[in-house]
């Protein structure tokens, strides 16, 4: 059994790595643990199974999701991107972060299979995974501006 603290680090380091290298945005632990995402939000999630099963979710405001999308596509104007573009981009963010998490956990959990990411729009969105799941919830801030929530729900494979 791995300590929860370890999962926190793996998770945040993975998200930081992806934001730094592929999205060119700064992602930091939030100073305010009670920060909330106001208004319309976008939640991307990706499930995984194997030695470890669960779901990773990335939730941010719509404005943040649009900025991430523009950065990834190299586009300057929000008018040039559609909701479909934003969903695709946030799905890929989840895919890449989970890929990093998987790589970092490989020595302990060598078999983890990822699903295709899923993205929804709405308000006060939340990631859940039935009974017996451990949760790592990280409140982060992107570009010192956008409150964002990273959540990793997981349980070890029951034999």
Task: Give the footprint of other proteins on this chain (CB under 8 A).
Answer: 17-18, 21-22, 69, 72-74, 85, 88-89, 91-92, 95-96, 98-100, 102-103, 106, 110, 114, 116
- With respect to other proteins, which residue has the nearer C-beta, 100 or 139? 100
Q: Please, what is the minimum distance in Å from the beta carbon of residue 108 to other proteins?
A: 13
Least distance from other proteins to the Cβ atom of residue 92, Å: 4
Angle at 102 between CA 41 and CA 126, to 5 degrees: 25
State which residue, 4 or 21, has the beta carbon closest to other proteins.
21
- Of 86 and 148, CB closest to other proteins: 86
Question: Least distance from C-beta 131 to other proteins, angstroms?
Answer: 28
The nearer residue to other proteins, 5 or 116, going by C-beta atoms, is 116
Report in angstroms how near the CB of residue 17 gets to other proteins at its nearest.
Answer: 7
Hey, is 2 helix, strand or coil?
A: coil
Decide if 85 contacts 69 (C-beta within 8 A).
yes
Contact 136, 8 (CB under 8 A): yes
Given its phi and psi angles, is residue 85 left (phi above 0), alpha (psi -120 to 50 degrees) or beta?
alpha
* Under 8 Å between Cβ of 154 and 49: no
Largest CA distance in the chain: 51
């Amino acid at each position: 059994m791995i300590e929860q603290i370890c999962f926190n680090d793996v998770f945040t380091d993975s998200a930081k790595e992806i934001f730094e290298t592929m999205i060119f945005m700064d992602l930091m632990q939030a100073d305010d643990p009670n920060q909330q995402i106001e208004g319309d939000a976008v939640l991307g999630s990706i499930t995984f199974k194997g030695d470890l099963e669960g779901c990773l979710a990335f939730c941010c405001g719509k404005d943040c999701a649009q900025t991430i999308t523009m950065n990834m596509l190299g586009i300057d104007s929000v008018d040039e991107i559609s909701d479909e573009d934003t969903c695709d981009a946030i799905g890929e963010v989840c895919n890449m972060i989970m890929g990093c998490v998987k790589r970092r956990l490989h020595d302990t959990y060598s078999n983890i299979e990822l699903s295709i990411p899923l993205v929804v729009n709405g308000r006060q969105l939340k990631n859940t995974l039935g009974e017996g799941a451990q949760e790592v919830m990280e409140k982060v801030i992107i570009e010192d501006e956008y409150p964002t929530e990273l959540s990793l729900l997981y349980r070890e494979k029951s034999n």
